[in-house]
A and B are shown apart, each in its own frame.
Chain A
Amino acid sequence: MKLVYFDDFKLGVVKDGQVMDVSAVVQDIPHMGPHDLISRLIERFDEYRGRLEQAAETSSGVALDGVRLRSPLPKPGKLVCMAVNYMEDGTRDEPAPINAFLKASTSVIGSGDTVILSKDQATVFEHEAELGLVIGKTATKVKAGDWRDYVFGYLNFIDVSSRGLGSPPMDSFFPTKSPHTSAPMGPYLVTADEIPDPLNLTVHLSVNGDLRQNYHTSDMAHKMDECMEWASSIVTLNPGDLLALGTNHRGLGPLQDGDTVIMEAEGLGRLEVHVKDDQKREWRRETRLQRTEREAAEASR
């Protein structure tokens, strides 16, 4: 099932390019706002699944491209991001030591929204396309072999990164990873049954139509089982928390004013965001890999 928030944070189910309003089904769930409605629905999804499916069958949908999409997790309890978690297409000999950071959940935006680059003098603002794993039930000290029991679903996530802020080389991650609008996700949240093999997904990210990131989740260094065991050994993960699984850095590139960014992990729909920079800063439009190759070519000349 594909769960979405749309327009004024109405809960919807997406099917064949249509969004069906299912908000009536969940109105008996006590909540303060859309952010805890979705986490409480996730917590008791077994109880609601049938009714949601039924409502999606019977309600008349509207075209997905005719609504304003919102983040399916408007303000997750925690956003745990795995750091340096890909083998970089085999160019790394061994996985980097397992590590993570927390990203501010007040910086989440949805598909169709705009990433606003901060006025701080970052060396560059980069897109990191990531597979996001959404927690389905309270997870403390989970065994690697049981990881699937704690997964609710998956979504596209872009970890927008403002490089060089704070006190480099020590990266405390708050100024670099938590800026306003730096956590685009969506367009919807796909339940785990639709993604039987999350380690067999192609992840694409393009900027203005140019493909930048194009990698496969099989290149992940510490897989979901290990990430879940490790992260839940440190902190309790709750329903609706997001565990972002890291990115392959070879296709990273700069974001700048006027860009349109589209990300799609196979089966998770298209997340589209725009970029605004009041200072109109410019960087060379190339990926890290292209830069490395260009610099090597220039050096050998």
Chain B
Amino acid sequence: MKLAFFNDFTLGVLKNGNVVDVSEAVNDVPHVTPSDLINGVIADFSRLRNRLEEAVAKSDGVPVSQVRLRAPLPRPGKIIAMAVNYLEFGAREMPTINAFIKSSDSVIGSGDTLVLPPAKANIFHHEAELGVVIGKEASNVSAANAYDYIFGYVNFIDGSARGLGNGSFFWGKSWDTFGPMGPCVVTGDEIPDPQNMAVKLWVNGDLRQDFPTSDMAHKIDKCVEWCSSVTTLEPGDIIITGTNHQGLGAMQDGDVIEMEAEGLERLTFNVRDDLKREWPHGIDQATADRVAGRSTTGGFGEPASR
């Protein structure tokens, strides 16, 4: 099932390019905000599933193009971002598992606009990532049981400002609007093998990122085990599982960026930069080479030293 919010945060389910209003089916889920509602639906999904399916069967819905899509998780309790978690098509050795927290207030939905801040970053990169949505409270979960705690998956872009504060993750990653996600959360049953998905990202129609989730270094089960060993994960929290850096490139004013992990529908967002800064278009090869270990300097908008 593909859960989405649309218009004034009405809960919907995507079906054949349409969105069906299912808000009646969840009207007994206690909530104050849309975030409470989706988290409540996720936590109580086994009870609600039949009702939701009935509501979807009864209506054709309206074309998605006629609504305003919203982030399916408008303000997650936590976004835990795995750091350096791809093998770059086998080019690098297994990294130490690591993560940072990204601000939940960075989230925007499909159709929204990522706004580059005036801060003097070297470059602003898009990082396409598979987002894993937690389904029930998870604390010290073992990898073997990890999938019991996963609700579903979502496209997520970890917007990244490079060169600020000596690599500070807060300064680089947590900017308002730097967390585009959506258009929907897809329940786990629709994604039989999340370690075998193609992840693609296009900028103005040009393919930039194109990698399989099989290249992930620490797999999803291990990420859930490790993150839940550090702190408690709650329904609606997201673990974003890292990106393959071989197709990163600049985001700049006027760009239209699309991302699709196989089976998760397509996320589209716009980029605005009031300063109209310019970077080369296309793949940032210096960063790709640096992360893959083919060079030891340069990348991330830094000059290569001799």
| A97 touching B98, Cβ below 8 Å | no
Interface hit among B60-68, B170-178, B202-210:
B170-178
Pick the residue among B98, B100, B176 that contacts A101 (CB under 8 A): B100
| A174 touching B100, Cβ below 8 Å | yes
Considering only residues 85-130 of chain A, those with a C-beta below 8 Å from chain B are 97-107, 118, 120
- Asked if B31 is at the interface (CB within 8 A of a chain A CB), the reply is yes
CB neighbours of A99 from chain B (8 A)? 165-166, 168, 170-171
**What 0/1 readout, one digit per residue, does chain A (56-99) give for beta carbons within 8 Å of chain B?**
00000000000000000001011010010000000000000111
| B117 touching A233, Cβ below 8 Å | yes
A-B contact pairs, 21 of them (CB 8 A): A77-B104, A98-B165, A102-B100, A103-B101, A105-B78, A106-B77, A106-B231, A107-B231, A120-B229, A140-B176, A167-B83, A172-B100, A174-B80, A174-B98, A174-B230, A179-B231, A180-B230, A233-B119, A234-B103, A235-B103, A238-B105
| Pairs of residues from A and B, 3 with the lowest C-beta to C-beta distance, nearest first | A102-B101, A104-B231, A172-B100
| B101 touching A36, Cβ below 8 Å | no
| B99 touching A174, Cβ below 8 Å | yes
**What 0/1 readout, one digit per residue, does chain B (34-51) give for beta carbons within 8 Å of chain A?**
001000000000000000
**A80–B104 CA distance with the chains assembled, in angstroms:** 12
Which of A30, A102, A107, A234 is most buried by chain B, counting CB atoms within 10 A of its CB? Answer: A234
| A78 touching B169, Cβ below 8 Å | no
CB neighbours of A178 from chain B (8 A)? 101, 230-231
- Asked if A297 is at the interface (CB within 8 A of a chain B CB), the reply is no
* A120, closest chain B residue (CB): B229
Pick the residue among B75, B96, B176, B232 that contacts A180 (CB under 8 A): B232
Asked if A235 meets B106 with Cβ closer than 8 Å, knowing A118-B229, A172-B100, the reply is: yes
Considering only residues 207-242 of chain B, those with a C-beta below 8 Å from chain A are 229-234
What range describes how many residues of A lie at the interface? 35 or more
CB neighbours of B96 from chain A (8 A)? 166-167
Q: Please report whether the interface of chain B is mostly helix, strand, loop or mixed according to DSSP.
A: loop
Pick the residue among B75, B78, B80, B167 that contacts A170 (CB under 8 A): B167
| B98 touching A166, Cβ below 8 Å | yes
**A178–B168 CA distance with the chains assembled, in angstroms:** 16
CB neighbours of A172 from chain B (8 A)? 83, 98-100, 169
| A104 touching B78, Cβ below 8 Å | yes
* B140, closest chain A residue (CB): A180
* A103, closest chain B residue (CB): B101
Considering only residues 119-147 of chain B, those with a C-beta below 8 Å from chain A are 119, 139
| B170 touching A80, Cβ below 8 Å | yes
* B78, closest chain A residue (CB): A104
| B169 touching A101, Cβ below 8 Å | yes
CB neighbours of B275 from chain A (8 A)? none
Question: Nearest-CB distance from B228 to chain A (Å)?
Answer: 10
| B165 touching A97, Cβ below 8 Å | yes
Question: Nearest-CB distance from B132 to chain A (Å)?
Answer: 16
